[in-house]
Chain A
Amino acid sequence: MSTSSPTQGFLAIELDGAGREGADIARAVLAAESAGFHAATFTDAPVPGRANALQRAAFAGPVTRTIALVPEVDTVYTEPFHVSTQLASLDYVSGGRAGWITTAAESPEAAAAVGRSSATGAALGQEAAASIEVSRRLWDSWEDDAVIRDVATGRYIDVDKLHYVDFETPAGFAGPGYSVKGPSIIPRPLQGQLPVLGPASLLGEVSVDAVDGVLVSAPAVELLAAEIRDVRARVGASVAVIAELDVVLDARGQAAAGRLAGIDAGRAVYAGSAAGLTDFLTDILKEADGVRLHPASLFVDLEELARLVLPELRRIGVLRPVVQDGTFRDLLGLPRPVSRYATATAAHAAAAPAGAGK
């Protein structure tokens, strides 16, 4: 009964321009949700004025219903145990709409802030891979039905369904090695596993199996389609390929070209009319599963996107329908996985004498 066809894609919008105060965050995310965006992302680069991305996403959780909330969280200079717990908590406060854009901070400033020497090259990818692995194991460390609240035996949890993760960084790890014991301090996230997205630049040290989506950038719009095809060839069909695009639209009587100054994030930039963007997105969504838009000015461009671009894309059937109360996994077409530790327990129970299991 699914109404989506393979050529339908989703749209994410980067909300960094919303500001850091609660009212501004709420206004932006509600505008994005009502415009029909499928996901909102929150960047976390160390620049002045930016509040923590995960907290901005958490603030947006209770005021929204359908939009997925996807913060960037660094893996190099943030404790993996905290990262895992915070993301699981985001899933709880958003009703299962949380995701994670894994980043690996390369800046010497990020290293100095926590008193470490900065990681570069392969070390970045290794830190990211280790952090993703820790998080995924911790998310699985409580089986889904670990909380039993069994009044007769007085047990709140079934301890057989909690697992130590006993993670160790692999041999040859570039940074200082470490271990994490587990289990998590929060039950399994509502989605079981949060969808993990990462930039294509991390692929390699971070294996394709570790991510659910890849963010693809090209330095110019003409190069984007080829780049997407290239990444698609590496990751296959089961990993979402998401194109990165800066957007400047003709708005309020001003041509986009007049607002171009100052845009240089190294990403492809679309500057022009709403109709032209609609055509471009229609084409690019034939190659990519989704596109993340970085509006040059959040409120100016979001208004044009909401008024002219998304309605037209919906009308021509390019966009996936927005699902009320759906999870981020639902949006990406990912099934809810069972915990990696669940089978072991089931086997253990089966091997136990009759009557001992349940």
Chain B
Amino acid sequence: MTQHSRAKSDAFVPSGQIQFGVFFQGVNSGTIWKAPESGSQTGFESFRRIAQTAERGLFAAFFLGEGLRLREHLGRPHALDVVGRPDAQTMLAALASVTTNIGLVATQNTTYNDPADLAHRLASLDLISGGRAAWNIVTTDNAWTGANFRRGGYLDHADRYKHAEAFVETAKRIWDSWETPAGPARRVLHEGQHYTVDVTPRLPRSAQYRPVLFQAGDSPEGRNFAARQADVIFSAHPKFDDAVEFRKDLVERSLAAGRGANAVQIMPASEFILAPTAAEAAEKKEWVRSLQIGPQQAIAYLEQFWGRELSAYDPEGPLPEIDPVVEETSETRGSGFHGAKARQLADQWRAEAKDKGLSIRQFVTSKTARIDATFTGSYTAVADQLAEYARVGAVDGFNISPWLIPTGLDDIVNHLVPELQERGVYPTEYRGSTLREHLGLETPVRTADTTAEAVTA
């Protein structure tokens, strides 16, 4: 009931609560594979262990990312970081059978899927899991990824969200096509610039009506799209001031989109390095960073921007004095880096490293984005910090990337969660059985569909 009035209001009202999700990253540079306790990154047991630990810690959701082409480095697959991961929905369907409450979030691309097919598969996951499915909507659109798909790189970058919006609207109509839980279904027609759909949906609504929608993408268009369509934003803004700023921005966009100020929740990506004392946590952080960014990773990171081999350079020495051979960095590094001006960046970085007296390794360690996303400290200090986020409503929760698989959530669940519960800012039980219930989201209103015709099933 309180949720209901919050969501409807014009003014943002903090929930005073923090939720956790776990982001099993797989492919990335943050997951440590070199430590003796690092397990398999693709074997089912690792996924089961993380999901079950998260559920023991009352996490709202288990997330899987998606990458539809292997990252490359100087024209070959990138060799240094974790590579390879299972298909998100297939893995989540399997995890549904060994968990009972936790939400199951699949990152799925709107450019390289067909709306009717993806909507059907997400509805399947939602029914199989008893109303726990969510879709993290992403819009990667480059031709380089498209080389693995029949339609290739058919979409202009500028059109990615226009296309995504039509895609998501079509999916919603497919999920909403049932008048009552048992049917009949309405035929869904969509005729658009990029695709045509004519389908009679096959599945009834789930316990949570339809999958929860997450959005990950940070451009102004991405934020507007989220404000119109999403239930939750998977953001890249975990630092306090930045998070408060992002909330303000999103509230404005949500109101402009005609939705309440609380309509869209925010869960930034984050990393936790915790210990009984601050000193131990700081020491642990050094250890974590040294394993995340070893000498080879440091050189490889620069090579992505320089576009050339830099193996002759000493990772403990200064940044290379030679210039990058490429003007712009490419998508092979990841969309976040795509299009950066390489030469300009190199000049800037050399100056910065010289200024601070940093070696290549130290510099790269300081540069990797995850640094900003890290909470380091004693269990009590970090719990106090998160309680402050909850008090002002900077975020609704955090999407935690464990740096160790499969034991990386253990100290969070065993020590941080109880501290947060003591402070009254973290759930002490699951609120219901569906993800929508865990997150306190409203029951969706059926999309009125004037173009569809009723079909007797």
Residues of A within 8 A of B (CB): 20-22, 25-26, 46-52, 54-56, 58-63, 77-82, 85-86, 88-90, 92-95, 109, 112-115, 142, 147, 149, 151, 153-159, 162, 176, 178-187
In the assembly, what is the distance between CA of A50 and CA of B67, in Å? 28
Count B interface residues, CB 8 Å. 66
User: Is B147 close to A, CB under 8 A?
Assistant: yes
Render B111-140 as a binary contact track against A, CB cut-off 8 A, 1 for contact: 011101100110111011110000000000
Q: Is the CB of B148 within 8 A of A157?
A: no
Q: CB within 8 A of B203: which of A49, A59, A114, A142?
A: A49
CB-defined contacts of B457 to chain A, threshold 8 Å: 48
The segment from B228-236, B291-299, B339-347, B411-419 found at the interface with A is B291-299
CB-defined contacts of A88 to chain B, threshold 8 Å: 86-87
Q: Is the CB of B83 within 8 A of A156?
A: yes
Q: Is the CB of A113 within 8 A of B76?
A: no
Known: A92-B86, A114-B197. A79 touches B125 (CB 8 A): no
User: Is B205 close to A, CB under 8 A?
Assistant: no
CB distance from B83 to the nearest CB of A (A): 5
Q: Is the CB of A59 within 8 A of B117?
A: no
Q: Is the CB of B296 within 8 A of A61?
A: no
- Chain A to chain B: the 10 pairs with minimum beta-carbon distance, closest first: A154-B296, A93-B94, A115-B196, A52-B124, A89-B90, A89-B86, A58-B93, A181-B147, A55-B93, A112-B198
- Name B68-105 residues within 8 Å CB distance of A: 68-70, 76-77, 79-87, 89-91, 93-98
Residue of B70, B80, B117, B196 with most partner-chain A CB within 10 A: B70
In the assembly, what is the distance between CA of A147 and CA of B38, in Å? 14
Tell me the nearest residue of chain A to B147, going by C-beta: A181
In the assembly, what is the distance between CA of A61 and CA of B92, in Å? 11
User: Is B254 close to A, CB under 8 A?
Assistant: no
Tell me the nearest residue of chain B to A63, going by C-beta: B97
Q: CB within 8 A of A82: which of B87, B91, B116, B185?
A: B87
CB distance from B48 to the nearest CB of A (A): 7
Q: Is the CB of A183 within 8 A of B77?
A: yes
Tell me the nearest residue of chain B to A151, going by C-beta: B34
CB-defined contacts of A115 to chain B, threshold 8 Å: 114, 195-198
Q: Is the CB of B116 within 8 A of A154?
A: no
Residue of A22, A63, A95, A182 with most partner-chain B CB within 10 A: A22
Q: Is the CB of A52 within 8 A of B42?
A: no
Q: CB within 8 A of B70: which of A51, A52, A162?
A: A162
Residue of A56, A109, A114 with most partner-chain B CB within 10 A: A114
CB distance from A119 to the nearest CB of B (A): 13
Q: Is the CB of B69 within 8 A of A20?
A: no
CB-defined contacts of B185 to chain A, threshold 8 Å: 48
* 17 residue pairs bridging A and B, Cβ less than 8 Å apart: A22-B96, A48-B183, A50-B203, A51-B124, A51-B128, A59-B96, A59-B128, A77-B117, A92-B42, A93-B93, A94-B94, A113-B197, A115-B196, A115-B197, A147-B84, A154-B294, A156-B83
Q: Is the CB of A181 within 8 A of B90?
A: no
Residue of B84, B113, B294 with most partner-chain A CB within 10 A: B84
In the assembly, what is the distance between CA of A162 and CA of B94, in Å? 27
CB-defined contacts of B124 to chain A, threshold 8 Å: 20, 51-52, 55-56
In the assembly, what is the distance between CA of A82 and CA of B128, in Å? 20
Q: CB within 8 A of B198: which of A78, A113, A142?
A: A113
Tell me the nearest residue of chain B to A46, going by C-beta: B202
Q: Is the CB of B117 within 8 A of A186?
A: no
In the assembly, what is the distance between CA of A110 and CA of B44, in Å? 32
In the assembly, what is the distance between CA of A56 and CA of B150, in Å? 26
Q: Is the CB of A95 within 8 A of B44?
A: yes
User: Is B199 close to A, CB under 8 A?
Assistant: yes
CB distance from A201 to the nearest CB of B (A): 24
In the assembly, what is the distance between CA of A22 and CA of B96, in Å? 8
Tell me the nearest residue of chain B to A138, going by C-beta: B148
Render B153-176 as a binary contact track against A, CB cut-off 8 A, 1 for contact: 000000000000000000000000
Known: A48-B183, A51-B124. A109 touches B79 (CB 8 A): no
CB-defined contacts of A26 to chain B, threshold 8 Å: 97
Q: CB within 8 A of B150: which of A79, A94, A109, A184?
A: A79
Known: A54-B90, A93-B44, A185-B84. A113 touches B70 (CB 8 A): no
Q: Is the CB of B77 within 8 A of A159?
A: yes
Q: Is the CB of A21 within 8 A of B127?
A: yes
In the assembly, what is the distance between CA of A59 and CA of B104, in Å? 13
Known: A48-B183, A158-B79. A149 touches B93 (CB 8 A): no
Given contacts A51-B124, A156-B83, 19 further A-B contacts (CB under 8 A): A20-B124, A20-B128, A20-B203, A21-B127, A21-B130, A47-B202, A51-B203, A52-B121, A55-B125, A62-B48, A63-B97, A88-B86, A88-B87, A93-B86, A112-B197, A156-B33, A157-B77, A182-B148, A187-B42
In the assembly, what is the distance between CA of A50 and CA of B85, in Å? 27
Q: Is the CB of A114 within 8 A of B117?
A: yes
User: Is B313 close to A, CB under 8 A?
Assistant: no
Q: Is the CB of B80 within 8 A of A86?
A: no
Known: A20-B124, A48-B202. A59 touches B97 (CB 8 A): yes
Residue of A46, A49, A55, A77 with most partner-chain B CB within 10 A: A55
CB-defined contacts of A78 to chain B, threshold 8 Å: 117
Tell me the nearest residue of chain B to A52, going by C-beta: B124
In the assembly, what is the distance between CA of A77 and CA of B150, in Å? 11
CB-defined contacts of A62 to chain B, threshold 8 Å: 44, 48, 94-95, 97-98
